[in-house]
Structure 1
Amino acid sequence: MFIIISTSCDSKDDDCTKTLEMPHYALEKNTLNRYYVNEEVPCDFVAPEDIGPPELKNFTYEVLYFTFTTDTKNKTSRLKFEIKLNNPNNYGVEGIPYLTIRPAGDHMEYVGNYSNLASVPCHNITANSSCILTYDQEYPFNPDIGAPESMEVVSVKYYTTN
């Protein structure tokens, strides 16, 4: 939600400005946290809806390796992957990759930030370069519910700080 704080207009319409609380994002403890900054903008500025952190434009990715295994004897599942995150832009970025994955053959999808436990979290990608998001974790599963036999990557998005 954006709140107009004040407006000021001189005799020229070109000099009319207003102050808005604009959302910004900062990377803190593997999470993008929102905060607001008062910014002076032209009176005809239309504030965009704050629907979350900005998504990196022109972003691409390549799944180099992705495996999900279930060990019913030990009642654990292991997720291991390497995904090449590409920033083809002429500027470096700071942010967090989010993966959408789903059990193979299922319609339920899971969206997550795996950076917290990744050995290479890719919080920064320099201009015109790549970073390989590297993850390998084992989890206990609830034997009453079980675990899927396999998982697949649906998509990867990279959300940035401002």
Structure 2
Amino acid sequence: MASILSENGVHITHGRRRLSNSLGLGCADAPFATSGGSPRRVPFFMRPAGPVARLLWRVLALVFVALGLIGAFLPVLPTVPFLLAAAWAAGRGWPALEHRLLAHPRYGEYIRQWRLRGAVPRRAKWTATAMMALSSAVLLATAAPIAVKIGAPVFMAAVAIWLWSRPDN
């Protein structure tokens, strides 16, 4: 299996970290990197998380995985966006979970395609657009304030435009 680029720029191969990241800064765990003999500071988001931060990233990843699991059984709650967020959070504090999500037989491909190209499957685009249109129609039939009746559909239309601007798988 080829290496997979994690969210924080570290290549993961079979659940292990390689010593170089995507920016070519050398060891991802080093606070300084050298290029041409002069040390430069590694950005804070490339440094390893401390124990408290790692715990918080893990908790956040678990919350997103739980929401994704709920979404697998409830048609009104999407699964893949929560798994995308879980992989993002896991990439900062739980590389093993991130690797499991990336290697998942059903949802791993969606996560990898999103990371590589920002791609969204055409079927997901159609489903999301239909659900937003249905939600807007139901909202217009309710006694919601006029600002909500206008603002929510405008926001959903903007999301739909952005969604359709993404490449397909």
TM-score, normalised via structure 1 length: 0.26
Q: With CA pairs under 8 Å and 6+ residues apart, which has the higher RCO, 1 or 2?
A: 1
- Larger-Rg structure: 1
User: Greater strand percent: which structure?
Assistant: 1
TM-score, normalised via structure 2 length: 0.25
